[in-house]
Chains A and B, each alone.
Chain A
Amino acid sequence: AQKVTQAQTEISVVEKEDVTLDCVYETRDTTYYLFWYKQPPSGELVFLIRRNSFDEQNEISGRYSWNFQKSTSSFNFTITASQVVDSAVYFCAYISNFGNEKLTFGTGTRLTIIP
């Protein structure tokens, strides 16, 4: 069975610092998708990125970047020059390219940006 591990339960950094959120997954599937979602204090999860396992290129979107390494089964998320608005719980998720359409979520990392 697939498993997603976010070992960092809580992280606090001072505003403007860079921070990396770790995500490690376990699977026997050869193809799959990985996701990151943000859950701000309001509670509604917001989609950040979807990555196909075929595509190992790093992706950058503004202050956000993602490092996907299939060899280590990791899909880490870095926020550069963090801002208070980045404070949220961040979830990593996985879905196989085959079988049912169920996302497997990690337990989340609560990120607090200290002003």
Chain B
Amino acid sequence: GAGVSQSPSNKVTEKGKDVELRCDPISGHTALYWYRQRLGQGLEFLIYFQGNSAPDKSGLPSDRFSAERTGESVSTLTIQRTQQEDSAVYLCASSKGLARGHEQFFGPGTRLTVL
């Protein structure tokens, strides 16, 4: 079946503009995670959703970042008033359950460049 998909694959924007990144998880996966990967660095947790529970937003770096998920399907990560330090690859992952017990399946990422 289809894996995790993300769009767009690349996004170039000007400083101060808003961007919206999309993630389509694997069907049936209840958990969805967003990560940020800066060049040459590891993955930095941003937010996760699990079923209908309130999302864990503790990794969001500032109030310019927000994310939504519709049920157990698509999620969007929105960055308002982008800054150059927001440039990174944003990775989405989904899993059948929460991270302790289940493998996470990652999408190809969205490479965001803020000029």
Q: B109 to chain A: which residues have CB within 8 Å?
A: 43-44
Using A43-B109, A100-B56, A102-B48 as known contacts, say yes or no to A33 and B100 having CB atoms under 8 A apart.
yes
Q: Of the candidates B33, B89, B98, which one forms a contact with A43 in the assembled complex, judged by CB atoms under 8 Å apart?
A: B89
Total A residues in contact with B, Cβ cutoff 8 Å: 24
Q: B99 to chain A: which residues have CB within 8 Å?
A: 95, 101-103
**Max chain A Cβ within 10 angstroms of own Cβ: one of B58, B106, B108:** B106
Q: Of the candidates B41, B50, B103, B105, which one forms a contact with A101 in the assembled complex, judged by CB atoms under 8 Å apart?
A: B50
CB of A101 within 8 A of CB of B89, answer no
Any B CB within 8 A of the CB of A105: yes
Separation of A44 and B108 alpha carbons in the complex (Å)? 5
The contact string, 1 if C-beta is below 8 Å from chain B, for chain A 9-49, is: 00000000000000000000000010001000011111100
Using A45-B93, A47-B103, A47-B105 as known contacts, say yes or no to A101 and B56 having CB atoms under 8 A apart.
yes
Separation of A74 and B40 alpha carbons in the complex (Å)? 22
Any A CB within 8 A of the CB of B104: yes
Any B CB within 8 A of the CB of A77: no
Q: B48 to chain A: which residues have CB within 8 Å?
A: 101-102
Any A CB within 8 A of the CB of B12: no
CB of A107 within 8 A of CB of B41, answer yes
CB of A101 within 8 A of CB of B98, answer yes
Spell out A's residues near B (CB within 8 Å).
4, 6, 33, 37, 42-47, 50, 91, 93, 95, 97, 100-108
Q: Can you name 20 A-B pairs with beta carbons within 8 Å? A: A6-B42, A37-B106, A42-B108, A44-B106, A44-B107, A44-B109, A45-B93, A47-B103, A50-B103, A91-B43, A93-B43, A95-B100, A101-B31, A101-B50, A103-B43, A103-B45, A103-B104, A105-B42, A105-B44, A107-B42
